[in-house]
């Protein structure tokens, strides 16, 4: 199948949607499909053969912040040319509600179109205000995908459409064979955390409070923290006599991320909410980590209601400490959860997720007939 | 002079109104084409699921009792004619499939056939959601007073939702190949 993917955000800036589109393209190619990705990108960025630049994204104020987007008629012409030259069986646009390439692609293309909705924002003023205009473009979309139940709800509430749920993917094999960091997890046990340390919703404070209690009762227990944030400020929140048992790695590379998951006895995700999927959790599960996560709906779902990882009461350091202590004392239980996590996470492995996306493509292709996606005048 | 201007203005207004109306009509037309595709995809997905379930029943990998249940549900779904009967029969097939796979799936061989059954059920779920989403889009477009008053939708009937239980069976762990390096001791 020839698939055209459209990404609305600049390829040279890291972001969830860009990552998703890049991974999906790779997974589809592994399954034997031909893929071309159209995305805004700065001129001097080197791109692989299957990524096509639609020109520079321009910073403009949108939806309360400054976003880098590609719009305008010249860009629309580039999109039209790419659609025409690509002769795609199906066009797959991402985040078509953003006023950028994906919306333009919906506007100019004729033929089977699939759209993926990433945002979960129950109160998007921009989306509410532009619903009428968006509806015209989205009428051409044959089938929609939402990456989370929250994203689907946003779509239903703002635009009155519906979507099938296909979660984000993880390259599980990239985490499966990582080596632990030297000296970890060690004899006395280790608990790990990965995420923005300065973002309260990631819940690091809950873990630190639990460690202040656990660390006193377990003489050699260590804490391994990774992610962007101020290390000194984090240490200051730990009791002085425990500080030398806290290792703060700061921001880590993708390779080291995989190693962090394998360096600890218990990987903790103490988020207070707001996660629509929990990619960190899926990565940790791919590495075979024993997961201890707060009982928010997204985590409960990924962990199969607690069968593939332990859950504790959201925001409760006592509950976290209790569960962590039980896990640290029970290697058999940890091994059991690790195996269950490896099994459960296969549903989120990119090849499996991409196969589900292909089912969506098959559904929107006209039965029996077909022909490539065309590029009309746009209306 | 003013008369000529008035005539030109009137013509311009008429022209833009007719452009707008034809644009609205072509949007509706496109939606109806989209519905035809979605309807065909849903019919194909249901037919495919029926065929795969029939094969699963015939293979006997799930044992004789489950096979009878599956074959019966698939046959009823195939024979149902009226839309309302179809909705009930296809929903029953979904329920039987879920019940049978939850009950005996873990012990069964025939992983390929089970994976195919899961994929077919998932196809039904996707196709029905897209069909009903298209129906919603048409209802919204046709609810406008302009479209109603000017009969822009022509004689096309207002489409109905396809109501059914389309929840696919839970993807069993056994459907996935074993990871290399993971011991089989948990089986």
Cβ–Cβ below 8 Å for A143 and B137 = no
Over the stretch B53-98, which tens digit does the pLDDT of each residue have? Answer: 999 999 888 888 888 999 999 999 999 888 899 999 999 999 999 9
Find chain A residues with C-beta within 8 A of B176's C-beta.
Answer: 343, 346-347, 352
Whether A193 and A147 share a structural domain: no
> How many structural domains comprise chain A?
2
List all residues of chain B from 23 to 42 with a beta carbon under 8 Å from chain A: 23, 26-27, 30-31, 34, 37-38, 40-41
The token pair at B154 is 């022509």
Coil/strand/helix, residue A366: coil
Over the stretch A44-53, which tens digit does the pLDDT of each residue have? Answer: 778 899 999 9
Residue A59 has pLDDT above 60, yes or no: yes
* Residue-level pLDDT at A368: 60
Mean per-residue pLDDT for A142-150? 89
Of A279 and B167, which is predicted with more confidence?
Answer: B167
Whether A34 and A84 share a structural domain: yes
Residue A98 DSSP symbol: S
Label residue A224 by pLDDT band (50, 70, 90): very high
Q: Where is average pLDDT lowest: A29-38, A106-115, B138-147? A: B138-147
Mean per-residue pLDDT for A111-118? 92
Whether A128 and A230 share a structural domain: no
Angle of CA points B166, B169, B170, to nearest 5°: 130
Whether A90 and A161 share a structural domain: yes
Cβ–Cβ below 8 Å for A352 and B37 = no
Whether A75 and A16 share a structural domain: yes
Whether A227 and A371 share a structural domain: no
Whether A343 and A358 share a structural domain: no
Q: How far apart are CA B113 and CA B52, in angstroms?
A: 8
Supply the Cα-derived Rg of chain A in whole angstroms: 23
How many contiguous H segments (helices) and E segments (strands) does chain A have?
A: 15, 17
Annotate A300-327 with b (16+ C-beta within 10 A) or e (fewer).
bebbeeeebbbbbebbbbebbbbbbbeb
Ramachandran assignment for A183, one of left (phi > 0), alpha (psi -120 to 50 degrees), beta (any other): left
Whether A235 and A340 share a structural domain: yes
List all residues of chain A from 128 to 167 with a beta carbon under 8 Å from chain B: 135-136, 139-140, 142-144, 160-164
Residue B141 touches chain A, beta carbons under 8 Å: yes
Mean per-residue pLDDT for A343-363? 93
Question: What ipTM goes with this model?
Answer: 0.82
* Residue-level pLDDT at B177: 39
Whether A308 and A228 share a structural domain: yes
> Are the C-beta atoms of residues B83 and B161 closer than 8 Å to each other?
no
Q: Closest chain A residue to B118 measured between Cα atoms?
A: A356
The token pair at B40 is 């065909």
Whether A38 and A161 share a structural domain: yes
Label residue B181 by pLDDT band (50, 70, 90): very low
Q: Closest chain B residue to A352 measured between Cα atoms?
A: B176
Q: Which of A144, A342, A366 sits opposite B133 (nearest CB)?
A: A144
Instruction: Estimate the crossing angle of helix B83-104 against helix B111-142, to 10 degrees.
Output: 150
Helix/strand/coil percent split, chain B, to 5: 75, 0, 25
Nearest Cα to B128, choosing from B164, B168, B155, B181?
B164
The pTM assigned to this predicted structure is 0.83
Label residue B187 by pLDDT band (50, 70, 90): very low
Whether A204 and A342 share a structural domain: yes
Range of the domain at A248: 173-347
Residue A43 belongs to a domain with what CATH number? 3.40.50.2000
Q: Which of B37, B136, B182 sits opposite A142 (nearest CB)?
A: B37
Whether A97 and A193 share a structural domain: no
């Amino acid at each position: 199948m020839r698939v055209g993917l459209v990404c609305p955000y600049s390829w040279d800036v890291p972001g969830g949607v860009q990552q998703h589109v890049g991974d999906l393209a790779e997974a589809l190619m592994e399954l034997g499909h031909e893929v071309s990705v159209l995305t805004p990108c700065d001129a001097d960025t080197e791109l692989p053969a299957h990524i096509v630049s639609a020109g520079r994204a321009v910073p403009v104020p949108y939806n309360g912040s400054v976003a880098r987007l590609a719009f305008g008629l010249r860009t629309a012409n580039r999109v039209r040319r790419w659609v025409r030259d690509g002769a795609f069986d199906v066009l797959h646009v991402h985040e078509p509600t953003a006023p950028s390439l994906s919306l333009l692609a919906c506007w100019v293309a004729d033929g089977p179109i699939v759209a993926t909705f990433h945002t979960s924002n129950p109160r998007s003023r921009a989306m509410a205000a532009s619903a009428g205009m968006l509806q015209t473009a989205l009428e051409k979309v044959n089938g929609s995908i939402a990456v989370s139940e929250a994203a689907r709800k946003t779509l239903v509430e703002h635009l009155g459409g519906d979507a099938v749920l296909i979660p984000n993917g993880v390259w599980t094999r990239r985490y499966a064979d990582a080596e632990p960091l030297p000296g970890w997890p060690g004899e006395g046990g280790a608990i790990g955390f990965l995420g923005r340390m300065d973002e309260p919703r990631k819940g690091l404070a809950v873990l630190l409070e639990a460690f202040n209690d656990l660390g006193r009762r377990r003489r050699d227990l260590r804490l391994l923290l990774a992610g962007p944030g101020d290390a000194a400020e984090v240490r200051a929140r730990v009791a002085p006599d425990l500080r030398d048992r806290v290792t703060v790695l700061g921001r880590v590379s993708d390779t080291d991320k995989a190693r962090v998951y394998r360096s600890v006895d218990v990987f903790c995700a103490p988020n207070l909410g707001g996660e629509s999927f929990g990619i960190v959790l899926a990565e940790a599960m791919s590495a075979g980590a024993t997961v201890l996560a707060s009982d928010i709906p997204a985590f409960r779902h990924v962990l199969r209601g607690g069968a593939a990882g332990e859950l504790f009461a959201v925001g409760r350091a006592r509950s976290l400490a209790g569960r962590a202590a039980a896990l640290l004392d029970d290697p058999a239980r940890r091994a059991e959860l690790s195996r269950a996590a490896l099994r459960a996470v296969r549903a989120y492995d990119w090849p499996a997720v991409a196969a589900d996306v292909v089912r969506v493509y098959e559904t929107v292709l006209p039965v029996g007939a077909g022909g490539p996606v065309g590029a009309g005048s746009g209306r | 002079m003013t008369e000529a201007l008035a005539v030109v203005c009137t013509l311009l207004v008429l022209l833009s109104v007719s452009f707008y109306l034809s644009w609205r009509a072509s949007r509706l037309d496109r939606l109806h084409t989209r519905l035809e595709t979605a309807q065909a995809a849903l019919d194909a997905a249901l037919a495919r699921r029926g065929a795969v379930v029939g094969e699963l029943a015939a293979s006997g990998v799930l044992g004789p009792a489950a096979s009878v249940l599956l074959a019966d549900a698939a046959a009823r779904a195939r024979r149902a004619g009226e839309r309302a009967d179809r909705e009930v029969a296809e929903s029953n097939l979904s329920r039987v499939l879920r019940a049978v796979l939850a009950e005996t799936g873990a012990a069964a061989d025939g992983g390929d056939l089970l994976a195919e059954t899961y994929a077919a059920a998932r196809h039904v779920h996707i196709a029905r959601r897209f069909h009903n989403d298209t129906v919603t889009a048409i209802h919204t477009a046709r609810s406008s007073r302009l479209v109603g008053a000017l009969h822009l939708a022509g004689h096309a009937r207002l489409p109905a939702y396809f109501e059914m239980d389309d929840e696919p069976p839970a993807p069993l762990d056994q459907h996935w190949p074993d990871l290399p390096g993971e011991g089989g001791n948990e089986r």
